[in-house]
Amino acid sequence: MTLANVLLVTGTAYLPQVVGGVELNTHEMATELNRRGCKTAVLAKLSPRDAFGATRLLLAHWRGVRTSVDQDLGYAVYRSRNPCELSDVPLPDVAVIQNGRMLELAEAFARRGVPCVAYFHGLPFECTEQDWHAAAVRRWFAGYIANSAYTARRFRARCGIDAHVIPPIFNPARYQAIGERRFATFINPVAAKGLELVLAVAELCPEIPFRFVKAWPLSPAQSLLLKRRVAQLHNVQLLERRTDMRSIYAGTRVLLVPSKPGHETWGRVASEAQFSGIPVLASDAGGLPEAVGPGGTIMPDNASPQAWAGALQRLWTEREHYEAKSAAALAHSRRGAINLDRQLHSLRDILAHACSGNSASIGMSATGT
């Protein structure tokens, strides 16, 4: 079956209101599917908490509609305070439900005759606020995709259903960078991503310059506290988030990803860095070992700041060790599991099966990465 229209659905705010792994992966999918002739749009929640959202909410109210639509990202993005209403949203051939209240979103589409595929970037099926029992899942979804083997295993354990594994999607050209690698870089300096540990490591390694790059939105109080903490360390720079990360990776010698358990089902920034041969120093959390592979160092969950500092200093000072990890990172970035064409072929095949009603062939054994 030829797919004419695909809708990627995120039950939370979207670019530019929120910049995270799900949002970036959704943007990559929409861009690449459209480039290949498959008309793809995005449905997201509209947050009124910033000027972007407040303006669009007022314009929608003035026009007498409940959903705002824009083409700022190169494709249609429908934004609604309540995406489950599906107000003023053209119905697609298939909807890919990715986060938020996924069961409610899938039910809303299914009741309008639109097949849905779940694409898990996190572990929403372990959330007690939604009734993720197998019957409900099978009722509303015609297919299942997980962003890592780790996520697929957790979904299988919770719901007894196998999912295809399609890791996050990347166009390598958007991340490859050449430059003077001077910094240990930490992206998204928040508690869940290991902020306290990296602050401790930076204090233990005063000879190493660090860059902290903002990603998730911070409240004024959180932002002020972060600035105060960083100001206490002479070797740490705090940078604002940015859409094009190549300038960050051009200056990165080692990427730090010390995410806490339960907060990382892949680790998108690890893959982004490896396209430039940047070794990753990461925690053994969730899907991070899959993302990093041999192209870095994986630290045990209970490793001390001193152990992290030692691993970082080894990468920083031992040339042969660094070059071996850098070469491994580059080789790992070229593996078939994150080959863009292969991933999109698998995605389109799964979506086509969902459209054909052949859901029995969708819930197959999860593939490896």
List the chain pLDDT tens, one digit each, 369 residues. Answer: 567 899 999 999 999 998 888 999 999 999 999 999 999 999 999 999 889 989 999 988 898 899 999 999 999 999 999 999 999 999 999 999 999 999 999 999 999 999 999 999 999 998 766 778 778 788 899 999 999 999 999 999 999 999 999 999 999 999 999 999 999 999 999 999 999 999 999 999 999 999 999 998 888 999 999 999 999 999 999 999 888 899 999 999 999 999 988 779 999 999 999 999 999 999 999 999 999 999 999 999 899 999 999 999 999 999 999 999 999 999 999 999 999 999 999 999 999 999 987 543 333 333 333
For residue 163, which phi and psi values (nearest 5 degrees)?
-125, 145
**Residue holding tokens 């903002």?**
214
CATH architecture group of domain 5-170+339-361 = 3-Layer(aba) Sandwich (3.40)
CA-CA distance, 177 to 282, in Å (whole number)?
A: 21
Q: Where in the chain is the domain with CATH 3.40.50.2000?
A: 5-170+339-361, 172-333
Query: What is the separation of C-alpha 135 from the centre of its chain, rounded to a whole number of angstroms?
Result: 28
Please, which residues have CB within 8 angstroms of residue 318's CB and are 6 or more apart in sequence?
Answer: none
Which class would CATH give 172-333?
A: alpha beta
* C-beta pairs of 193-196 under 8 Å, 24+ apart in sequence: 193/257, 193/258, 193/259, 193/260, 193/263, 193/264, 194/256, 194/257, 194/258, 194/259, 194/260, 194/283, 195/226
Q: How many residues does the chain have?
A: 369
pLDDT at residue 4 in the model: 80
